[in-house]
Structure 1
């Protein structure tokens, strides 16, 4: 049976035992197969090489050379390798894997006639789908497979099957991505992932958990997976769709989870933006560990500016001694057996090797003396990359496991010296047991070992990519995910070491749907939008927010109030109407002044008590009225100053009783005048009611009723000192609580009732002769009194704090002053300024 199609590229080195390698180096660009004829083998012109991945091949070869030159590892055993390319498709991957278990150049499954073709393990592949294709076959033979890229989803696999992941855990990476976003408060991001099973798993296991940690997704977009079919137009169309999503989004941070070559598609975005004559705005890219910064040949002149400032989770890599010298020594004219080099060399350097079959060769001629170190970073790197480091460690893990197995057999077999390792091939399936327990330090001092799941116990570096002026780039390690500590402590980062895209002017980029709601406001969700998108609303009256992005404002304590910015609670001022403040001092001054005036009027009346104007209208009622008015004015002083128990008890009750006495006196004086004139009529029966007893009875009975109301008030629910913390926003008011508002309004209502009766009676007696009665003046004084207290009620109910007390004092002074002025000022005018009118003859003449 002939080989159906010879390997397009192969790199082979013979040995007693060999390691198989599946590289991901070349894409084959072709048209779709119609299955109507046998497709011809692809030509090298159809190769699109990911030149950077050539280092993966060199890393495997370098590790094998080191082991063969090291007398302490696998002595007397030569390690070889056989490397094929997967070409990123299933056909070639299956064919190459079957070739590992067959005689070279003869693809006959399960048949092998070459005793030196002893496969001990397979390393590969880079992408999960390729690894799955390899695993499908090597599982049959129990051959260990070490995957250096993303592990495939193999739900049907059991722990006993050969499967080892030489790259760090996906869980460690997912936690690292989450911690990175939270560290920089990037809560509004876009997500781009490759359209395969691993991409879907990443979205389900990591991205869908982001909202639980306060991170919103602006959009989630799939990136097309590459194939051998030429579908560039479709990919560009999809790239335009992603570009439109980025333009429409306000996010500045984008998470990319994809294949190793996904960066080549990201590099299209600035080009598409330029084609549409729109400027490319700087973004922060967060790249998953499997993505390498590479480029296709047609992107040779494209600058890598898009990656400037990006943050990448990278497989930890170290500089192994001699690797760069090994790479620098590579040349097509000196190295034999490397079937990958010529195609790599031509595409990496943009030249063509002479072909005697072709007469005309366009372009530059490859001399073979070109220097690999001159290549730009996206095409090739001299220092070992993360994936190359994983391959290097995989080779050493196989060698150490093989040596441990050999040592173990020597201990249990007496004839081991007669059966060297190369003759124990039939038992190499037992290598799994030793691979699981392998543990060693590589040449860079890094420890290599597997956990119970067959995953390498290794950390991840967080790398900041910086583009230089010559369009090359280099890595700066700015953080790490440490696998040897708890996950919540594994993340570390040095923010000061990060260089951001110039668009952000070297300040920490923001990536939020809505800028922070500053203290003094709270978030208001937008209907139909993610929870990261909201409006900022000023805190309502009486509430504050003292932190950014609070969901709701909170109330201050009872003894505090919000400041003007509504971001801090300020202690309230304790306030009451005091003598020290202007308002209290003025009211106290008026009260004392009116009291002094009342005392002077009383003195004047006492001095002129024999004059007709004093004797008229019941002299004793006049003195009682003046004394009650004097006490009314002095009662106002009880309302000024800090509320005390005694003051609170006396304020309303004393004023109510004293003022009732005053109004009762006015009523008695008016009734006395009316009865006196009615008694002068012939045959009138009113004469028996005229006299001091009737007046005293009116005053006493009316006053006792008010006193009774006040007694019930004090007995049932007396006033008491209280603290009001709610009426005003900025003050704690010390006040007298009325105890029972109903009783308070009863006292006021009764005074109003007396005033109304006095007003009606005085109004009816207003036409009696002026010289003998005060009805006109009493009418006017009662009109003033009623007006003041009618105005007091709405004012009392509408204002707060110490101004309630001030209004009450003003009402007391105004109504009492109205009585004093309207009734007694005209009489004082006659007594003091017109004494000639204050005689009996004059009064008799006026009345007659």
Structure 2
């Protein structure tokens, strides 16, 4: 196998080859001198280590030896194109569509580390379907299988990273962030994706600035000025360390601190985080890093490297100088080393373990995985069974003469478990599973406005950014249970917000309960009051032969007392949970018993008038002095009310209902009267009867006392009417159980006024003034008045 991992800038190209044939020696071809970054040298060593590990593996590719060739493109498109064509043609001179070398077939190419270089390589390699696996190219353009049909990578596409960075911003509740991006493809494609993702998550972009790679200062002064003047405390940076470090130096020069940096993987784990001079600027960096893993054997392999043992490797001396800050002695620099005490000479005895090489590998791991992906693809190619192969007519291919598209098929379908227990495979676009590590140093707040707590919602301010808002308490009946809610939500019909309006609680159900003090007190009064007319009825029965009882129409008095007994008791049906049958009957029962009561009063009044006028000589009213007129008045009056109530029940029957609109947070269990008109007609008819009784009694108030109840009836009806006239506004203004309580109070009050005004004076005479309970005394009163 020959592979091509790419190394970051060096002024000239380097190439390192090793056929790894049993009878061959490693060869080195070195161009002009250049500098190699230590971490990119480690990437090359990861390739070499993986190849050697696979060649030593007893089960993976047995009897097959992998070889490799390394070429440094120096981030130069021309060098990348030249190197790619050189590998394809097999010689120093490139010959299109021709392979002049007799070495083992080229299996695949690993590289490049940059997206721009990878794109030019993928365009060339895709023509012949040569598999290419990059370990560091993240551009989403490379997802296009029509343009790059043979491209794969072991690092996720930026499409995943930018979505992840936006989710990271959203996760910490940052709604006001700045964006710094490099002006190359990496930054501009990243900008398009992350900006839209941030906006879609509900956050806002405070500013967008490009890091201009074409300018020596990267436009750093303007960028730092924008950062200083912005209220955003979180800045997302999509750039590589080499460009962004100039911006960091300008931040350091202007003493700008307190910024939370959200880093893309290109610099999230760079060396700037460990440099003392930048610690005050970059502290608090949070970002995505390339997913890493532990490769203890590779770490041990790196620590064992020595210039004395690797004379064929022209890179190791440069790596040694970079790692230990020393210089190898030579005729050219001998005088410089002797004159400058600060420059130390390299001895070759330095130990790599002392500089603690990275144990948790990231990009090197991607190179390692790329080599193994090719190895497992070749393994599956070898294990192909003729007749069940993936090519025409179930054929297989030969390991010594396969074509690039043969291996491409197996790489597309490769899936294997690594030595560090991770699964590697490629999706339809050539991407690996999108897995990142998160680097986290500190997490501050960065919002244009303070977060709205639960129970509040955002209110946009005209003329300001959507992220600059005000907080408003949720409207009545609505809640929000999240921070920075855009809108509040209605509670269900049987729940209501708590005082903080951050959750819905079950509503309390309100009705005039017998267990509550008000309901209990009214029930006790009703029962006690109902006993009073029974006691008076017993007194009237016991003293029915006395003049006072006989003079006041004994039968009507008994009927009136019974109706008052029922009036007091009917108030009980208004107390308690409003069951459907109770709702249907309670107003009708109230209307009917009160109609009987007022009809009796009206009949007594008419009887008094007829009785007085019948005593005049020649009066025709003598025939009406019996009980028939009284009963006729009662029956007729009650029948009219009965028609009203029956019509009400048949046409608009009352029903029980749960009212959630009248009182906030309360379910009022009440009886809907069905038809307010019917209710007021029933009540109005009672008022009509009481008014007639009042007028007749008022006109008869000056009749002789021995026959006259008119004064007492006048007072009783006046009080009765006063109670119910007062009831109307109170009933209409009350809510919930107090509406029912008002009606019960009116029932009890009006019943007591009738009983007190009509019967208490009679009981006073019967029980306390028996001497006045005589015919002589009554007749004497009459004579005295004449």
TM, length-normalised to structure 1: 0.67
The alpha carbon displacement at 1:760 in A equals 2.8
Give the stretch that moved more between structures: 92-101 or 360-369: 92-101
Counterparts in 2 of 1:552 and 1:193: CA distance versus 1, 3 Å? same
Counterparts in 2 of 1:16 and 1:661: CA distance versus 1, 3 Å? closer
Counterparts in 2 of 1:231 and 1:784: CA distance versus 1, 3 Å? same
Picking from 151, 168, 171, the partner of 2:155 is 168
Q: Distance in 2 between matches of 1:770 and 1:514?
A: 85
1:501 maps to 2:441: yes
Counterparts in 2 of 1:673 and 1:406: CA distance versus 1, 3 Å? closer
Q: Distance in 2 between matches of 1:627 and 1:434?
A: 109
The alpha carbon displacement at 1:327 in A equals 5.7
Picking from 524, 540, 547, the partner of 2:476 is 540
Residue 661 of structure 1: aligned partner: 596
Picking from 230, 246, 264, the partner of 2:216 is 230
Q: Distance in 2 between matches of 1:654 and 1:158?
A: 86
Q: Is the 8 A contact 1:522 1:545 kept in 2?
A: yes
**SS state at 1:165 partner:** strand
For residues 626-668 of structure 1, what are the alpha-carbon distances to aligned partners after superposition, in whole Å with 9 as ceiling and x for unaligned? 4433443344445556777886666444443332233233334
Picking from 99, 103, 112, the partner of 1:125 is 112
Q: Distance in 1 between matches of 2:742 and 2:713?
A: 24
Residue 745 of structure 1: aligned partner: 680
Q: Is the 8 A contact 2:16 2:28 kept in 1?
A: no
Residue 388 of structure 2: aligned partner: none
1:553 maps to 2:539: no
Q: Distance in 2 between matches of 1:442 and 1:758?
A: 104
1:847 maps to 2:785: yes
**SS state at 1:150 partner:** coil
1:248 maps to 2:236: no
Picking from 613, 631, 641, the partner of 1:706 is 641
Counterparts in 2 of 1:783 and 1:12: CA distance versus 1, 3 Å? same
Picking from 750, 756, 764, the partner of 2:691 is 756
Q: Is the 8 A contact 2:574 2:586 kept in 1?
A: yes
Q: Distance in 1 between matches of 2:99 and 2:574?
A: 118
The alpha carbon displacement at 1:818 in A equals 0.6
Q: Distance in 2 between matches of 1:20 and 1:244?
A: 57
The alpha carbon displacement at 1:751 in A equals 0.8
Q: Distance in 2 between matches of 1:515 and 1:791?
A: 53
1:807 maps to 2:742: yes
The alpha carbon displacement at 1:836 in A equals 5.3
The alpha carbon displacement at 1:843 in A equals 1.1
Q: Distance in 1 between matches of 2:417 and 2:635?
A: 114
1:653-802 alignment runs, 5 A limit: 653-673=588-608, 694-713=629-648, 716=651, 722=656, 724=658, 726=660, 738=673, 740-766=675-701, 773-799=708-734
Q: Is the 8 A contact 1:267 1:304 kept in 2?
A: no
Q: Distance in 2 between matches of 1:683 and 1:312?
A: 120
The alpha carbon displacement at 1:752 in A equals 0.3
Q: Is the 8 A contact 2:122 2:151 kept in 1?
A: no
The alpha carbon displacement at 1:170 in A equals 2.0
Picking from 809, 821, 834, the partner of 2:756 is 821
**SS state at 2:295 partner:** coil
Q: Distance in 1 between matches of 2:648 and 2:66?
A: 113
1:302 maps to 2:271: no
**SS state at 1:364 partner:** coil
Q: Distance in 2 between matches of 1:402 and 1:597?
A: 109
Counterparts in 2 of 1:226 and 1:298: CA distance versus 1, 3 Å? farther
Q: Is the 8 A contact 1:544 1:569 kept in 2?
A: no
The alpha carbon displacement at 1:79 in A equals 5.8
Residue 421 of structure 1: aligned partner: none
Picking from 183, 198, 209, the partner of 1:195 is 183
For residues 305-340 of structure 1, what are the alpha-carbon distances to aligned partners after superposition, in whole Å with 9 as ceiling and x for unaligned? 847784534255553746655565455998577368
1:319 maps to 2:295: yes
Q: Between Structure 1 and Structure 2, how many residues are aligned?
A: 741
Counterparts in 2 of 1:373 and 1:665: CA distance versus 1, 3 Å? same
**SS state at 2:216 partner:** coil
The alpha carbon displacement at 1:127 in A equals 1.5
1:41-440 alignment runs, 5 A limit: 51-59=38-46, 81=69, 83-84=71-72, 86=74, 88=75, 90=77, 123-134=110-121, 146-150=133-137, 163-170=150-157, 173-174=160-161, 177=164, 181=168, 190=177, 193-202=181-190, 208=196, 216=203, 218=205, 221=208, 223-224=210-211, 226-227=213-214, 230-232=216-218, 234-242=219-227, 247-249=231-233, 257-259=238-240, 261=241, 265=244, 279-280=257-258, 285=262, 287-288=264-265, 290-291=266-267, 293-295=269-271, 301-303=277-279, 306=282, 310=286, 312-316=288-292, 319=295, 321=297, 324-326=300-302, 329-331=305-307, 338=314, 341-342=317-318, 345=321, 349=325, 355=333, 364-369=342-347, 371=350, 373=352, 381-383=357-359, 385-391=361-367, 430-431=403-404, 433-434=406-407, 437=410
The alpha carbon displacement at 1:706 in A equals 2.6
Give the stretch that moved more between structures: 736-745 or 295-304: 295-304
Q: Distance in 2 between matches of 1:623 and 1:395?
A: 114
The alpha carbon displacement at 1:753 in A equals 0.5
The alpha carbon displacement at 1:179 in A equals 11
Q: Is the 8 A contact 2:130 2:150 kept in 1?
A: no
**SS state at 1:312 partner:** strand
Q: Is the 8 A contact 2:290 2:362 kept in 1?
A: yes
Counterparts in 2 of 1:376 and 1:286: CA distance versus 1, 3 Å? farther
Q: Distance in 1 between matches of 2:678 and 2:657?
A: 21
Give the stretch that moved more between structures: 197-206 or 298-307: 298-307
Residue 390 of structure 2: aligned partner: none
Q: Is the 8 A contact 1:148 1:167 kept in 2?
A: yes
Counterparts in 2 of 1:756 and 1:291: CA distance versus 1, 3 Å? same
Residue 463 of structure 1: aligned partner: 437
The alpha carbon displacement at 1:785 in A equals 0.5
The alpha carbon displacement at 1:780 in A equals 2.4
- Unaligned runs of 5+ residues in structure 1 are 1-6, 24-40, 409-426, 466-499
For residues 475-528 of structure 1, what are the alpha-carbon distances to aligned partners after superposition, in whole Å with 9 as ceiling and x for unaligned? xxxxxxxxxxxxxxxxxxxxxxxxx53668xxxx9999875864xx47556467
Q: Distance in 2 between matches of 1:787 and 1:210?
A: 71
**SS state at 2:564 partner:** helix
Give the stretch that moved more between structures: 179-188 or 832-841: 179-188
The alpha carbon displacement at 1:755 in A equals 1.1
TM, length-normalised to structure 2: 0.71
- Unaligned runs of 5+ residues in structure 2 are 1-9, 385-399
**SS state at 1:302 partner:** helix
Q: Is the 8 A contact 2:80 2:121 kept in 1?
A: yes
Q: Distance in 2 between matches of 1:116 and 1:170?
A: 37
Give the stretch that moved more between structures: 398-407 or 745-754: 398-407
Picking from 623, 626, 632, the partner of 2:567 is 632
Q: Is the 8 A contact 1:128 1:198 kept in 2?
A: yes
The alpha carbon displacement at 1:97 in A equals 6.8
Residue 474 of structure 1: aligned partner: none
Counterparts in 2 of 1:99 and 1:448: CA distance versus 1, 3 Å? farther
Q: Distance in 1 between matches of 2:575 and 2:561?
A: 23
Counterparts in 2 of 1:561 and 1:657: CA distance versus 1, 3 Å? same
Q: Is the 8 A contact 1:523 1:551 kept in 2?
A: yes
Counterparts in 2 of 1:68 and 1:244: CA distance versus 1, 3 Å? farther
1:514-593 alignment runs, 5 A limit: 518=454, 521=455, 523=457, 526=460, 535=471, 537-538=473-474, 540-541=476-477, 552-556=488-492, 567=503, 569-570=505-506, 577-578=513-514, 582-593=517-528
